[in-house]
Amino acid sequence: MMRFGQMRKRCHTCALELPAESQYAQCARCLREPFGLDACFAALPYAFPWAELVSRYKFDSQTGWATFMASTLLDQPVVRDFLEELTTDDWLLPLPLSTERLAWRGFNQAWELTRALQNQSTCRANADASLLLRIRHTRPQSELKRNARLENLKGAFAVEPMRVSELKGRRVVLVDDVMTSGASLLTAASVLRQAGATHVSAVVLTRTAPT
């Protein structure tokens, strides 16, 4: 059992909450159509009080919360087991920020969470903040409706050109603090697959409810 919040049954590929009595590992949408991630894990709903905590972490530069967030994720046996099965051939990558947003915020919250996850577990994957890049500044996804989010992210991500070979045949786990529609993670996953990654999953602290 988690120390903070009750563990919930979630879809294995999009992390939406499932009915406790569900006999399936995936939600109806993911059963009908592949989601784009091989697996996705979330610890908490994006709701009070967690939404406020994430906001303070990101916008008030309270980076110390990364340690708590990582421990909350690792309190879930499925997350801990998944991360600790990774090897030194695999990658643990934060969802990157654009140069403009990184300069404004002062840090990448996903990278702080990635480092904390590795520090608090025996995960052997390579944590790296420069392999996956955000090469185009975009409007915040929170300002857009669901259908506009994927369009907003076209051409936003790229793999470091001199390091593409490091992804061929490898497993990659993306890390972020909030997952809403999943557009950012799915766009990044597509870029990683095009570079040769064979398995792309995600670990996020919070997941919004379906809209």
Task: Write the pLDDT tens digit of every residue in 103-146.
Answer: 999 999 999 999 999 999 999 999 999 999 999 877 665 555 66
Contact assessment for residue 92 and residue 125, using Cβ atoms and an 8 Å cutoff: yes
- DSSP state letter for 169: T
In CATH, 28-207 is 2.30.30: no
Helix (H, G, I), strand (E, B) or coil at 205: strand
d(CA 2, CA 73): 9
Other C-beta atoms closer than 10 Å to the C-beta of 211 total 7
Q: What ranges do the domains of the chain cover?
A: 28-207
Q: What pairing do the DSSP bridges indicate for beta strands 157-159 and 132-134?
A: antiparallel
Question: Which residues are CB-neighbours of 202 under 8 A, at least 6 positions away?
Answer: 15, 37, 39, 40, 41, 173, 174, 175, 176, 179, 185, 189
- For the segment 55-90, what is each residue's pLDDT rounded down to a tens digit? 999 999 899 999 999 999 999 999 999 999 999 999
